[in-house]
Amino acid sequence: MTAVDAVEAAAPPWRGGFGRLWSAAIVSRFGDALRTAALPLLAASLTDDPLLIASVTACGYLPWLLFGLLGGAVADRVDQRRAMWGVDLVRGALMGAFALAVGFGQASIALLLLLAFFLTTLQTLFDNAATALLPSLVERRELGSANARLMTGQQIAGSLLAAPLVPLLLLVDVAAPHAVNAVTYGLAALLILSLRAGAPERPPRKAGSTLRGEIAEGLRFLAGDRTLRGLCLATTLCNIGMSALIATLVLHVTGWLDAGNSGYALTLTAFGVGSVVGGLLAKRLAEWTGRVRAMLLAGTVQICSLAVLGSVRRIGVAVCCLAVLGAMGMVWNVQQATLTQERSPREMLGRISSAFRTLALAGAPLGALLGGAAAAGWGLNAPALLTAGFFVLAIASLSPLIN
């Protein structure tokens, strides 16, 4: 087993900084999931133009491509704790104002587009700061367990708790999900503010250092580290494939499987439940096999599931395949995040993680277009098989890391 694969795991204590960061992340994700589920419904009530409705979602990706690298550089310069609670206060104020606009009937598609864009722009700083802050709150050997607990808790809060609550909140008022989201940002800000973590220790910046130069430094480190470079390429290929599948999954289920809207909801629920199970398995699997081997195993199982998904026309089989995809996807994500934190210098972690995220997300729009083209040209099951092909390429690019 190589140094890359070796894992010395331990669970972080809930008391203290990690417990508060975990609580803040769960509360914030719960509110985000309420908004994410409610915004498309609100958009559909304002317009019947599919392009405008899809643009609301697209605005949630665009800031990562425009500002993701900048957010990482800023996260490495500032006190990450202060950046996070400051961002959440601003996001809470924006959501509170938006909830009032919706409540008084002043919402518009233009307002939804602006809201999605600005919230995600702020998220680029928040997420990079959170990634950089975690290693200062837990021991190095606790990172894998900490990431698994964070991601699993967020999945439970978003998929299993918040999503079913949206219809009930909408019965109260059309603005209710957005008002609750505003409150969750405020609570998360208070939890982060209570962290007993001082400003991070960093070496002094070089004279004349600029944000552009620091961003380039992070990109160079990512490109120069063989393990991180391979991880980034593999994750990018997986994201292209998953975007092709997700963009056309509703057509796969309601069209090719003829399972209707209830079947589509069932597959999404199965994916969420599988992700939670994967979060519980991630730490133990890494202890047994090592992180890279755990990712290779997860990717191989996903290839098999995608091949079955694209070949068997039964909704029960599709539900099982989506559950497996969710579980193995979470195993992959936990190992990838932990390896990035373990191999990056503490003072550069924000820049390196932002470069990783930006490059990995850059292929998502391409994947969605490829999925649509495959469905139109070769059948509604073709995107699942196309996704399997991208996962094969990802595994091939990751395999040399175990040598």
3-state DSSP call for residue 13?
coil
- CATH class of the 218-402 domain in this structure: mainly alpha
* Per-domain boundaries in the chain: 17-196, 218-402
d(CA 185, CA 208): 36
| Domains 17-196 and 218-402 equal at CATH topology level | yes
State pTM to two decimals. Answer: 0.76
pLDDT band, residue 184 (cuts 50/70/90): very high
pLDDT band, residue 5 (cuts 50/70/90): low
Backbone angles phi, psi at 54, to 5 degrees: -65, -30
Could you read off the pLDDT of 36-56 as tens digits, one per residue? 778 777 877 887 775 676 567
pLDDT the model gives residue 10? 61
pLDDT the model gives residue 34? 84
d(CA 360, CA 354): 10
d(CA 153, CA 155): 5
Percentage of the chain exceeding pLDDT 90: 29
Could you read off the pLDDT of 129-153 as tens digits, one per residue? 888 788 888 887 788 788 888 888 8
DSSP secondary structure string for all residues of 309-345:
HTT---HHHHHHHHHHHHHHHHHHHHHHHHHHHHHS-
Could you read off the pLDDT of 343-397 as tens digits, one per residue? 888 888 888 888 888 888 877 778 888 888 888 889 889 999 999 999 999 999 9
pLDDT the model gives residue 262? 79
Could you read off the pLDDT of 149-159 as tens digits, one per residue? 888 888 888 87
The answer on pLDDT for 66 being more than 90 is no
Q: Are 219 and 383 in contact (CB under 8 A)?
A: no
Look at residues 340, 280, 342, 343 and name the one whose alpha carbon lies nearest to residue 128: 340
* 17-196: CATH number: 1.20.1250.20
